[in-house]
Amino acid sequence: MQNSTAFSQPLVMILTFGDLTSIKYLYCVFALLGYGVTIFANITVIAVILSHHTLQKPMYIFISTLCFNGVYGSSAFYPSLFINLISEVQAISYAGCILQVFAIHSYGCSEMTILCVMGFDRYVSICNPLRYNTIMSLTIVYKLIAAALLYSFISITIQIITTFRLPLCDSVILKIYCDNWSVVRLSCVDTTMNNLYGSLIIIVILGIMPVLIFISYVEILRVCARSSKDFRSKALQTCAPHLVSLSNYLLDVVFEVILYRYTPTSVPYAPRVFTSVNFLVVPPLLNPLMYGFKLQEIRIKIINSLFH
């Protein structure tokens, strides 16, 4: 390896778009369409929830937070994708790359922390219905949201600081966007601290939090098992969107971690691109569509707002 003192952070990072540029204008249309639909769907759900007093309930406030995070994550990905597709050289400044790393990772971390507090909300609602309004007061709800977001932003800020200090020996990112591991792997120096901290974040996000949600749903199933059919039906209706969001997120992120942290070049290019963008494309689009159509109270308000 070359002497690390001869290297520092490059001015520009080169992204790997491969064959995507061969039909780049078609992908530009897909990018604009995907971004437009995602933003419209999320903003519509947020606006409907915020503008109707009857929706000022914990579950809907959490949903609006999830949708806001979807707007944030999509905005960290789509504009950069579009700019690079229409450019002759697919590149991003080092500062822009680090900013995108922060935005994408804080989005991904926040998605899980929000889903975790939503799981707690469903647990209290179904297992302690008589105490629900006391336990899940609006003050508590806003504190849970603040804690979920603060944890994500603080943990990712620490990660970015440990990455930013690294001198790099190369400037080629093996993705169509910047992520932390893609930058760290270019380092000229020992990255043990980065690897350990990154592994800690993965353990919390993909290990501890899903286990907490799983425990909540075990208790929910126990309550449903000894309840009436109507109660079970209502519980399923409110829990199903959360379970779909959680399953989709975990599946996307697990594939992303396995493919890019441990086997970054052993998978063909096309599947690598698909799996790497899935968690940035699918959840922000799926969540508002699913919650907007699945939950009757939101669906009715959306239809009334759009067509009346």
Distance, in Å, from the CA atom of 284 to the CA atom of 279, rounded to the nearest integer, reads: 8
Task: Assign 253 a pLDDT band (cuts: 50, 70, 90).
Answer: confident
Domains in the chain with CATH codes:
9-307 (1.20.1070.10)
DSSP string for 84-113: HHHSSS-EEEHHHHHHHHHHHHHHHHHHHH
- The answer to whether 115 and 246 are in contact (CB under 8 A) is yes
Q: In what order do the strands lie in the sheet with 12-15?
A: 91-93, 12-15, 172-173
- 289 pLDDT higher than 60: yes
pTM for the full model?
0.91
- 2 pLDDT higher than 50: no
Q: Which residues, listed in sequence order, are joined to residue 168 by a DSSP beta bridge?
A: 187
DSSP string for 130-159: GGHHHHT-HHHHHHHHHHHHHHHHHHHHHH
Least confident window among 148-152, 264-268, 293-297 = 264-268
- Most confident range (mean pLDDT) of 4-8, 130-134, 267-271 is 130-134
Residues 139-162 pLDDT 10s: 999 999 999 999 999 999 999 999
Task: Assign 308 a pLDDT band (cuts: 50, 70, 90).
Answer: low
Q: Which residues, listed in sequence order, are joined to residue 187 by a DSSP beta bridge?
A: 168
Q: What is the pLDDT of residue 22?
A: 77
- 269 pLDDT higher than 80: no
Q: What element of type H or E holds 173? A: strand 172-173
Q: What is the pLDDT of residue 295?
A: 78
Distance, in Å, from the CA atom of 245 to the CA atom of 287, rounded to the nearest integer, reads: 6
Distance, in Å, from the CA atom of 277 to the CA atom of 177, rounded to the nearest integer, reads: 9
